[in-house]
Amino acid sequence: MAGTGEVWPHLLERFPGLGAITAVDISTGMHLRAMQRLHAHRAHKIAFIEDDVLASDLPDASADFIVSTFGLKTFNREQHARLAKLVARCLKPGGVFCMIEASDPKGWWLRPLYLFHLKVMLPLVERMFLRGARDFAMIGTYSTNFGDASHVAEMLRGEGLEVEFKRFFFGCATAVAGRKPGVFAPS
């Protein structure tokens, strides 16, 4: 769910030795637009595969690492289970992964205010100031339906991966990170 590749600049800065990133997304159009508008100067570092990650035949043990930012919330639990299988199958032994998602900060005393911001203010501001854009129209509903990434952590563990569940900013985002057991042999 690489989308517009918001995470690529951070990966390349954090790991200067990184040879290339393979973006995987169901939408080639989204990828091409993002490459033209945002990433032309790093195009030599970005490869692309059009793929449906819910019905994927990406090769086994082919990825050194797998990263996803904000791609989980629109999937249901059965789809998360399929994704967990894909991550476990495609990682090389010793390969690492991290997936983060906007989440419902249950139990936080400012949750009602935060959800008002997500469900009302953010969509309103983007409609008013970004020429009627609706990118964030559903983010509040998606985030509350998603809950948090703890069930994804369980699914990944069930696939034999070592998994850490992380919460950020009172649970407004949650993540799963970890590795596939084994000795790492980078490409």
Ligand X SMILES: C[S@@+](CC[C@H](N)C(=O)[O-])C[C@H]1O[C@@H](n2cnc3c(N)ncnc32)[C@H](O)[C@@H]1O
Q: Are strands 63-69 and 91-102 parallel, antiparallel or unpaired?
A: parallel
Closest approach, Cβ 69 to ligand X, in A, equals: 4
**Nearest CB to ligand X, comparing residues 166 and 186:** 166
Closest approach, Cβ 18 to ligand X, in A, equals: 17
**Nearest CB to ligand X, comparing residues 108 and 126:** 126
Closest approach, Cβ 60 to ligand X, in A, equals: 18
Binding site for ligand X (CB under 6 A): 1, 3-6, 25-27, 30, 52-54, 69-71
**Nearest CB to ligand X, comparing residues 1 and 84:** 1
Closest approach, Cβ 71 to ligand X, in A, equals: 5
Which residue has the CB atom at the shortest distance from ligand X?
3
**Nearest CB to ligand X, comparing residues 113 and 169:** 169
Alpha-carbon torsion angle 30, 35, 38, 41, nearest 10: 170
Cα separation, 105 vs 143, in Å, equals 9
Helices 139-146 & 122-129 angle (0-180, nearest 10)? 150
The first and second tokens of residue 132, run together, are: 């009627």
CA nearest to 60, candidates 95, 100, 21: 95
